[in-house]
Amino acid sequence: MKGKKIIIFLIFIIGVILALNGIILTISCNKLIKDYSNKTYKNTYINGEDISELKYSDLDKKLEDLKNLILDKNIIFFFNDKEVTLKLKDLEPIIDVPETISKIKDRNKKITFLDKVKLLNDKSKFYYNFVISFPNIENIKSRLEQEFNVQTLDSKLVVNENHELILEQGNDGFQLDYEKTRDNLEKYLQKIFNSNSKISDKEYRVEVFGEVLLKKESNIETINKKVSSYSTSFVRATNRGYNIELAASRLNKTIIEPGETFSFLKVVGPYSCANGYKSAPAQNSSGYACGGGVCQVSTTLYNAQLLAGLETVERQNHGEAVAYVPRGLDATVYSTYTDYKFKNQYDYPICIVSYVLNDKLYIDIWTNENALGGKTYQVTSKRLANGGYAAYLLVYENDNLLETRYLHTSFYSN
């Protein structure tokens, strides 16, 4: 009987001890939980930033500082090698700090006592995310269009101050697809702000979508050498001189593609006063005509054409011989029925450069350095017994005369 009493007493003592331990543990837990009633729990993060055991009184400032840090982060928009950097604040987001704090406090209120006890010893992390929206995201549309839209420019030939032909490379264009870019941006932003990554440590890259507008393909890029040049003299300060300069300006930078036939009338004419020309002496006569003097341009071009080895299609001499080229080497044009034409038989385009310097008209022909196949050309004319003037094209290769090619015979009234 005595042994039973001892056992009962021991059980009683153990129960009291356990009860006291439970009471002590409960009191301790209650004290700890009470301590967390105004601060965040351990291992608490917001968008990757540690806000563990932070007093509620400090939480607002902490989140405002974090908000400003996030707003200052770079968003890099890119397409191929083009990059444009904006700040996140340029998207004008609304980061609702009070609402985010409310979410944190509400959770702390709603979890059970036992869950709170577990949180005291739990080493796992708990993540919150900012409450964020982008109501003004359309406002960056004009900025992105301004930065990314590129006008398509075709390559073109320009003449520099030394009257040399220079190629200005063109470029492909780009048209931004803002709707597709915006959708991609919004998905990316949601991914950022709904993740547990530390936002403040990163820069963000967003791909831009749009259409590449290809420049027009052109073989003018093959033009790289002046292959012939011819010049004639005239009196500049006259109506005739004015007409020569006007015709030369209209002829300048004319491109003739491989296999194409050039028409002087089509490019420079019509030679009327209504087309800007003035009345001036025609040929060597005392008669006047609108466009008087234009024949000197066609004649100068004709000689440059021959020196470039190009094929004559249509050419007529003047009724009266002119003084600015040897007889037999002129090419007249008149009204709409006397034209001067030649063909580009080469595999490369040619470009005519014509300009006036002091009292001289210069016409150069440019093409690819391989177009003439290593040949060079000279022209000459001689008087025949019948009073005509025969013109010849001399063809050379490595300074050796390969051929003397008969061109035509011209007759003049003077």
pLDDT in the model for residue 10: 65
One-letter amino acid for residue 410 of the chain: S
Q: What is the dihedral of CA 177, 179, 183, 188, to 10 degrees?
A: 50
Distance in angstroms (rounded) separating the CA atoms of residues 306 and 297: 14
One-letter amino acid for residue 182 of the chain: R
Contact in structure between 43 and 52 (CB atoms under 8 Å): yes
Sorted by where each begins, the domain ranges of the chain are 44-140+176-207, 219-410
pLDDT in the model for residue 36: 67
Model's pTM, two decimal places? 0.68
Distance in angstroms (rounded) separating the CA atoms of residues 248 and 150: 35
Instruction: Indicate the DSSP class of residue 283.
Output: T
Q: Which H helix or E strand runs over 267?
A: helix 264-268
For the chain, which ranges sit under pLDDT 50? 28
Question: Which residues, 6+ apart, have CB-to-CB distance to 219 below 8 Å?
Answer: 257, 258, 348, 349
Phi, psi for 321 (deg, rounded to 5): -65, 145
